[in-house]
Every structure is written in C-alpha cells, then in structure tokens.
Amino acid sequence: MKTYTARPDDIQRQWLKVDAEGRTLGRLATQVAMVLKGKHKPMYTPHIDTGDHVVVVNAEKVRLTGRKPEDKKWFGHTLYPGGAYWTTLPELMAKHPERIVQRAVQGMMPKTKLGRAMMKKLKVYAGPAHPHAAQRPVDWNPAA
C-alpha cells in the first residue's frame, strides 16, 4: 500500500465559524490550530497546507484560567535605545482583544513559511459581527 500525499488540486477548503464566548483560551487555540493545519482531515499532509479557514467571533469574551490576567505579559522593543516596553493582558484586552486569541494560536503553529501561510486563514473579531457572510461559514463547536 502506498502512502497518500495530498496534491494542491485535491484540497477543498471550507469556512468555519467559532464562537469564543465562555471558551478557555488555550483549549480554543489548540483546536483552531489543528483546523488551520488540516489535521482534522484524513488527507492531512505535513508539508502541504490542507487546512480550512477559521473565523473566531466574540474574542473579547474568551475565558482565562488561573492567574493569567494578573501575570501574563508580552515584551516589545521599538529598536531604539531605551525602547523596551511590556504589555499586560488587561491592557491588550482593552485595546485589541482579538490579538490575544491570534497570539495564542500563532504560538501553536509551525514557525516556517508554511505556518505563516496557514495563519493567513485565521480571522479573529472582538464582537459577534464579521464581514465573511459571503463565504457562508459553517458554525463549528469543537468539544469543550
């Protein structure tokens, strides 16, 4: 029996919509990363992007466990002398709540060209509205 390898012509992508309200951030991120990679399909091939598009709505209502709201920080630098800064989770949640989900998923993706291409299929929105109605995304509720 020969090993199956997906070809770019064989890939059929669909759009999935996930409601992040009340979902734990890490569990949501792992399931979204799995779909972006295409691991939920029997035709999964590691070196080809076989994943689907994912639209995450209500990112501002995602649930965080433990002491993450107090302890989680991200480091940044402006590349100028003395340009180091820290961003806390409450600050990021107030300004850009969609970036929290995006960063959690990005940490679980491959750090390669293929991983960056897969991340382009992720769309995250803070509220319940999204501009992808024309793609007719299917409501997807992975096991909690």
Does the pLDDT value for residue 3 go beyond 90? Answer: no
CA of 59: how far to CAs of 10, 78, 102, 114, in Å? 32, 27, 9, 25
Q: Quick one: what percent of the chain has pLDDT higher than 90?
A: 90
How many helices and strands, by DSSP H and E, does the chain display? 5, 6
67-100 confidence digits (pLDDT tens)? 999 999 999 999 999 999 999 999 999 999 999 9
DSSP state of 75: E
Q: Which CATH code of 2.30.30.110, 3.90.1300.10, 3.30.70.1070, 3.90.1180.10 fits the domain covering 15-65+97-139?
A: 3.90.1180.10
Those residues with Cβ within 8 angstroms of residue 103's Cβ, 6 or more apart along the chain or in another chain: 74
Specify which residues 87 forms β-bridges with.
74
Core vs surface per residue 52-82: b (16+ CB within 10 A) or e: bbbbbbbbbebeeeeeeeeebeeeeeeeeee
pTM of the model: 0.91
Instruction: Parse the chain into domains and list their residue ranges.
Output: 15-65+97-139
Q: Please report which helix (H) or strand (E) contains residue 56, including its range.
A: strand 53-57
37-65 confidence digits (pLDDT tens)? 999 999 999 999 999 999 999 999 999 99
Look at the block and give the residue holding tokens 């409450």. 90
